[in-house]
Structure 1
Amino acid sequence: MSDLSKRRLKTWIRLLGVTRGAENRLRDYLRREHGTTLPRFDVMAALWRRREGVTMSELSRMLLVSNGNATAVVDRLERDGLVQRESEDGDRRRIRVRLTPVGLTAFEAMAEGHEAEVDAIFANLSETDLETMRDIVMRAGRQA
């Protein structure tokens, strides 16, 4: 294994550690402050971005999860009155899901705090650092 290969491996391990640490902090924040989970937040965020609603297949693709995982989260959100399902064009096999007004309000409250947490996670990075990191991550993502 070359020195560069070893450095890449160490960088990957460090990046994974940073990502997991940040994700754990966000999970803890959402649980403590909003009594919710990161998957629920992610589903609500996707639906907030697409106010007209999305099909379950579209939602799964947006979140990079299986249809079963998306369905389980949507089931719980629907029970809590945060999302609603509607058949599309009278076809009961094609379901569109969207945030309810209560879900929209709840998500916007969560999103404000979530953004503040992310801001705190990256507080020690300058604007230049963030741009450099974004560029590096974008280039690395092209290889994946």
Structure 2
Amino acid sequence: MRDAIDDHVDLWVRELDGLDPVREAVVGRLMLLGRHLAGSRRAALGASGLMHWQFKVLLMLRRAGTPYERSPSQLAEHLGLSRGALSARLRPLEEAGWITRSSEDGDRRRVRVRLTPAGLAMWERHTGAESAAEEDLLGGLSRAEREQLAGLLRTLVLRTT
């Protein structure tokens, strides 16, 4: 079975001497899949009503494990934000009821940001939609093929870090 990348490679092999058709096919398919996954993520975000930055904050809290909380400085560091930028992002999440901010032991300088049950439910709805799209993409591969692909992709990723 042929795909659009096969047509792309056939065209360029005729036009460019020395083009490695296998390399072009691999890179072309990786780029196509990257665009597909980015589109799936945008669609899942749109369906859940989340903006990407909101998802990232919820993700960082969920990733912390129960009780799903971090300090603002930890969140800012993990998200690559200044404390001021983080504060501006936390406010709408708090207003939506997805997070709470509370002082630790009554000390207003020691704040904890915590994912609420509503925030956890929102995160789970979004990740469920995203996981379904990913499963749909990988559905044509057996478990062994998925493991082989994961290993090959790891090899490529390690070359870039």
Normalized against structure 2, the TM-score is what? 0.66
Q: Secondary structure at the match of 2:50?
A: coil
* C-alpha displacement of 1:44: 0.8
Cα separation, 2, equivalents of 1:38 and 1:58: 19
Deviation digits for residues 88-111 of structure 1, max 9, x if unmatched? 232212211011111112221221
CA distance in 1, matches of 2:87, 2:139: 35
5+ residue gaps, structure 2: 1-22
1:78 partnered with 2:94:
yes
Q: Which has the larger radius of gyration?
A: 2
Equivalent residue, structure 1, for 2:154: 134
Q: Could you tell me which residue of structure 2 aligns to residue 107 of structure 1? A: 123
Number of equivalences: 131
Pairwise mapping of residues 37-48 of structure 1 onto structure 2 (< 5 A)? 37-48=51-62
Which amino acid counterpart does residue 132 of structure 1 have in structure 2? Answer: L
Partner of 1:89: 105
CA distance in 2 between counterparts of 1:122 and 1:67 reads 39
**Contact map agreement 2:40 2:130 (CA 8 A) in 1:** no
Tell me how far apart the structure 2 counterparts of residues 66 and 84 of structure 1 sit (CA, whole Å).
19
Show structure 1 runs of 5+ residues with no match.
Answer: 1-6
Change in 2 beyond 3 A, CA 1:121/1:102: same
Q: Percent identity?
A: 33
* Whole-angstrom distance in 2 between the partners of 1:89 and 1:19: 46
1:47 positional shift = 0.9
**Cα RMSD for the two superposed structures:** 2.8
TM-score (norm: length of structure 1): 0.72
State which drifts further: 132-141 or 118-127: 118-127
